Every structure is written in structure tokens, then in C-alpha cells.
A and B are shown apart, each in its own frame.
Chain A
Amino acid sequence: MYAQMVKSTGSGVKSRDEMSDEERAFQDKVDADIKIEPRDWMPEGYRKTLIRQIGQHAHSEIVGQLPEGNWITRAPTLERKMILLAKVQDEAGHGLYLYCAAETLGVTRDDLTEQLLSGKMKYSSIFNYPTLNWADIGAVGWLVDGAAIMNQVPLQRTSYGPYSRAMIRICKEESFHQRQGYDIMMKMAQGSEAQKKMAQDALNRFWYPSLMMFGPSDAESVHSAQSMAWKIKINTNDELRQKFVDQTVPQAEYLGLTIPDENLKWNEEKGGYDFSEPDWTEFFEVLKGNGPCNKERLGDRVKAWEDGAWVRDGLLAHAEKKAARKVAAE
């Protein structure tokens, strides 16, 4: 979700007969819901796919600070400012937990950061959309965090121990995010005409990008099949998208807002809503770098990283001097 279209390595799920003894023992553990820990044997593909997935998830948290951070200095009350600041701070925390989980697989945070900044690794497409009015902060919490939670709750059961533990911690903190978003939406939807207009405008712009967060249909994807066999992906993209729509429609109705989809209709037979697909051409353009804010988002991260180099180096140099002085004194 925050990790879209992560390709697993290898050509698909191996049958038990094709597996080596080690691979079979590994798969048995995964099947028995025994967690895989950093020093356990694991297939190289599992390690690489996880690095890609956890890294992309971490990058999304970090870049995800920016669209909401865009409103911290303009939050309309002291309380809203604090809530938003605490929320965006949580995202930095989530990024940190996830980078640490990835580091147990033998990469460093700096490696991952450099791959993000050079464009080699991706982050979720959603953060390339702008936040244009205050209700967008509500919509991001309600829809974007809502969509993220759909994916993150099952990932608490993922097979890789450090990833699972990070997700448990993140989920505990994340439900605050969705609620604060909905809380803003309620205030706006019950507010003045101008506020109602902001709320509807935010929903109009964030609806389809939120649906895109789950990624294109992957029912046929060999990568997804492998990831699901490894239990680093728990549900298909379509399952999660359906669940998200079913959950969100009544919430929008409660707010008195209109979901911008003429084809949205309850389907009694499947027990869920029928809805329009997002524009997947747009999605692939955003992934390629052509979203409304790709340049700004990555540019901000590059600037923060480059401007911060002297600080990181300075504090490390001081720590080394201090350690040397301590040794000399002994």
C-alpha cells in the first residue's frame, strides 16, 4: 500500500519438489506461522523483496510528512496545530521503525536513503498529490491513512519478525491518525458553506488517488503470488480496495459528502459496492515522476539530506573526539 507494485525476485512460486531442503524448511516455518528472524536462513529473493517492500514503505512515511507538513504553519487553531504536528511526527517515527526493520536485513538507512533520493527506490504515489485546502488534511487522515491501515493491520501477521513488530507498533499509533482526519472532516462538513466546499473539494481530489494506493489488480501477478506464499503480502490489491470502498462510503454519507463516482452502487449479490476504477494511466505517469508534486517532494528530501550533511558529520566528529579524549584520560 505504502509499498505499491513491489516485484518479488524469481519467476513465481516454486513447488515443494523444486525447493532445496533449506527452502522447504523455510517455507514450512512460514506456513506454520513461525516468525523468520534476522539471523535465520532465508531465500535471497525473500530478503531482497523484503528490503524493497519495507524500504518503500519507510520512504512513503518520510515523504508522506511533506503534504501534511505543508499545513502545519497554517493550522487554524493551536490545538489543530499540535495534533497535526504530533501526527506528522508519528510518520517520521514510523519511517524510523521501518528503516530499522530493513536494517536487520543487511542494508543501512543511508543506503536506502540514497536510493530514494536518486530515484532508484519509490514511495507511494499518493504523496505526489498536493494539499490545497485545510480539509485536505482531514481527507489525508481519513482516506489515505484509512487506506494504509487496511493494508497494515494484516501485515502485523507478516512472516518477518522485525517487520511484524514494526507494524504492530505502527498500527497502535495509526488509528489516531485516521480518527483525527475524520474529526477534521466532521467539523468542516458541519461548518460554514465555505468549509463544506473545502471538504467536498478535498474528497473530489483524494478519492481516486486513494483507490490507486492499493495498486493495480494483481490477481494474476506472479510477484504477488510469491509474496503471499512468503506471507509478506496478505491480501490481494482488489480485496483491500473493495474493503476500503465498502468501509468509506457510509462514512462519506454520514458527512453528507458525495463520492465523485457516478457508478458507485451497492451490489446486493456480492455484498459490496460497485465502483469505477481509477485512471491507471495517471497512476503510471505519477510513478514515472509525472505527478503534480513529484519534483517538489523529492526536491525537498534531497535538500534536507544535503543541507543536513554538515550536521550529521559534525555531531559524529564530536562523538569521536569525545571518545578519544576519554581513552586518553584513562
Chain B
Amino acid sequence: MAAEKNLLLEFLLRQGDNALILGHRVSEWCGHAPVLEEDIALANTALDLIGQTQMWLGYAAEVQGEGKTADDLAFLRDAWDFRNVLLTELPNGDFGQTLMRQFLFDAFQSVYLARLLGSSDETVAAIAAKASKEVAYHVERSADTVVGLGDGTEESHARMQAALDYLWPYVGEMFESDAVDTAMAESGVAPDPATLREEYDALVTRVLTDATLTIPESRFAHKGGRTGQSHTEHLGHLLTTMQWLQRAYPGNTW
């Protein structure tokens, strides 16, 4: 029972931390986007992701059963406790890199959340029901933007290709599976991500082809985020900023 609980907790942290860390990254754009309309749209994406974080980490805290809250999990864990894929913690780079990262993640989420709708865990299914509507819009928007910039000017094309080349080695980690995934698949909570790669590749290839971009041939994948074994150096800095007030004034309410 305890082992089962821990596996579910691990799964929930992966979902929540992906949303939290990417939402945080996207929120860094606020006030700095290339045009007002994009600024507003990015803020909407960040808001959706942080909203999803509250649901996933809220449930994670409940499953953990130590009387903690979603905020405790977000603001009081250290980097090695985080279970987000490395892709989400990478720096924003230019607008193109941010949107490429968003698309590569949205595409995964759109495939993955669709499966979670039928989860044997009712709470997981309910969270997926809300989040999948948001993600359906995110992927449409980020895909359009990737296509627009890939098939735009010479400069925008070059920048998008550079973004894809940089980010592609971080795609594979989303499809890594381990004991947690096997357990989730067996209990019908969530699919084994390894089984979703084909569907993902079809979607991503279609969009990147429209964008006139070339997918790198190498299948090499950086990993270590979703297991917590080895994050990038970037995560520590992100957490230092994000967690500062809670760490500096422990126990205060805000």
C-alpha cells in the first residue's frame, strides 16, 4: 500500500512539477514579449499552467498525507525533489526558443492528457478533463506560431531551426519509462509514455514540416529531470528566485 502510494505520488509530482516549472518560465516573459497580443497570450498560457500546478500538487499533497499543501510542495522542496522533465526548466532564450519549447511540450501534453481522461483514478481524470481543454488551445497556438516563424523570414527560419536543434535532445526524456510508469500503466492510472512516441512524432513532424524545419536525426536524449537524479544547473536558479520569500520568512502567511 505504502509503495503504491509513493508511486502515485511520484507520478503526480511529475505532472505538477512540469506545469509549475514551465509556467514559471513562461511567466518570466510578462511585459517583455515582441508585441502586446503575444504578451497577453503568453500570460494566459502561464496562468493555465500554474492553475494546473495547483490541481496536481494539491492532489499530490493529499496523497502524501503529511498535511502539506500545494504551496509547501512548490516552495519548500529542493531541486533534487523536483520531477519535471529537463525541457521545462531550460531558459527561455529568444521568443522562438520559448515557443518551440512550448510546442514540443504542448504536443506531448495533448497526446498524454487525452489518455488521462480515461484514468482509473477519478481525481486524475478530473484534472485531465480541465487541463486537456487548456492544452488543446496551447498546442494549436504554439504550433501556429512555430509554423509562422519557421516559414517566415530568413532570419526567423534560422532562429527556429536553431531552437529546434537545441531543444530536440530534451524531447526523448518525456518518453522515458521506469517503474513508476509501469505501475501507473498496470493500475490504469496513466499510460506508459513510451507507447505514445509514435503519435507524438506524427504530430510534431506534421507541424515542423509545415514550418519548413528539419528534425535533427540524432535520437540522443538528455535525462534525469523526471527521476530527479540530475537536473540542469538552471533549475537551482529558478528555485532560488521562486522560493525566496517562503525560505527567508518561514511560516509567514502571504
A304 with B253: in contact, given A86-B47, A92-B40 (CB under 8 Å)? no
With A73-B241, A78-B57 already in contact, 12 other A-B pairs whose C-beta atoms are closer than 8 Å:
A65-B30, A69-B30, A74-B241, A78-B71, A79-B54, A82-B51, A88-B31, A88-B43, A89-B43, A304-B31, A311-B35, A313-B153
Chain B residue with minimal CB distance to A88?
A: B30
Check if A107 is an interface residue, CB within 8 A of chain B: no
Check if A300 is an interface residue, CB within 8 A of chain B: yes
Interface centre among B36, B157, B242, B253 (most CB of A within 10 A): B36
Bound-state CA distance A194–B241 (Å) is 19
Bound-state CA distance A22–B245 (Å) is 61
B47 CB contacts on chain A under 8 angstroms: 82, 85-86, 89
Chain B residue with minimal CB distance to A70?
A: B31
Check if A314 is an interface residue, CB within 8 A of chain B: yes
A73 with B43: in contact, given A312-B34, A315-B152, A318-B152 (CB under 8 Å)? no
Chain A residue with minimal CB distance to B251?
A: A192
Interface residues of A in 196-224 (CB under 8 A from B): none
B152 CB contacts on chain A under 8 angstroms: 313-318
B148 CB contacts on chain A under 8 angstroms: 314-315, 318-319
Check if A328 is an interface residue, CB within 8 A of chain B: no
Q: List 15 A-B contacts (CB under 8 A).
A: A62-B31, A73-B27, A78-B70, A86-B43, A86-B47, A88-B43, A184-B254, A187-B253, A194-B249, A195-B249, A311-B38, A311-B96, A314-B148, A314-B155, A319-B148
What does the 1/0 interface line of A308-330 toward B look like (CB < 8 Å)? 11111111111101000000000
Interface size on B, as a range, is 35 or more
Check if A81 is an interface residue, CB within 8 A of chain B: yes
Bound-state CA distance A95–B159 (Å) is 29
A313 CB contacts on chain B under 8 angstroms: 152-153, 155-156
Q: Is the CB of B33 within 8 A of A308?
A: yes
Q: Is the CB of B36 within 8 A of A89?
A: no
A85 with B43: in contact, given A92-B36, A191-B252, A191-B253 (CB under 8 Å)? yes
Check if A66 is an interface residue, CB within 8 A of chain B: yes
Chain A residue with minimal CB distance to B145?
A: A315
Q: Is the CB of A310 within 8 A of B153?
A: yes
Q: Is the CB of B74 within 8 A of A62?
A: no
Q: Is the CB of A80 within 8 A of B50?
A: no
Q: Is the CB of A93 within 8 A of B40?
A: yes
Interface residues of B in 165-204 (CB under 8 A from A): none
**3 tightest Cβ-Cβ pairs between the two chains A and B:** A308-B34, A314-B156, A314-B152
Q: Is the CB of B244 within 8 A of A74?
A: yes
What does the 1/0 interface line of B7-51 toward A look like (CB < 8 Å)? 000000000000010001001101111111111100110110011
A311 with B253: in contact, given A73-B242, A78-B53 (CB under 8 Å)? no
Check if A76 is an interface residue, CB within 8 A of chain B: yes
Q: Is the CB of A74 within 8 A of B245?
A: yes
Q: Is the CB of A92 within 8 A of B35?
A: no
Bound-state CA distance A321–B148 (Å) is 10
Q: Is the CB of A318 within 8 A of B35?
A: no
Pick from B35, B50, B151: contact of A308, CB below 8 A: B35
What does the 1/0 interface line of B80-109 toward A look like (CB < 8 Å)? 000000000000001110000000000000
Interface centre among A66, A82, A195 (most CB of B within 10 A): A82
Chain B residue with minimal CB distance to A308?
A: B34
Check if A134 is an interface residue, CB within 8 A of chain B: yes
Chain B residue with minimal CB distance to A311?
A: B34
A316 CB contacts on chain B under 8 angstroms: 152
B33 CB contacts on chain A under 8 angstroms: 304, 308
Q: Is the CB of B40 within 8 A of A96?
A: yes
A66 CB contacts on chain B under 8 angstroms: 31
B40 CB contacts on chain A under 8 angstroms: 89, 92-93, 96
Would you give the shortest CB distance from B30 to chain A, in whole angstroms?
Answer: 5
A253 CB contacts on chain B under 8 angstroms: none
A92 with B246: in contact, given A191-B253, A314-B152, A318-B151 (CB under 8 Å)? no
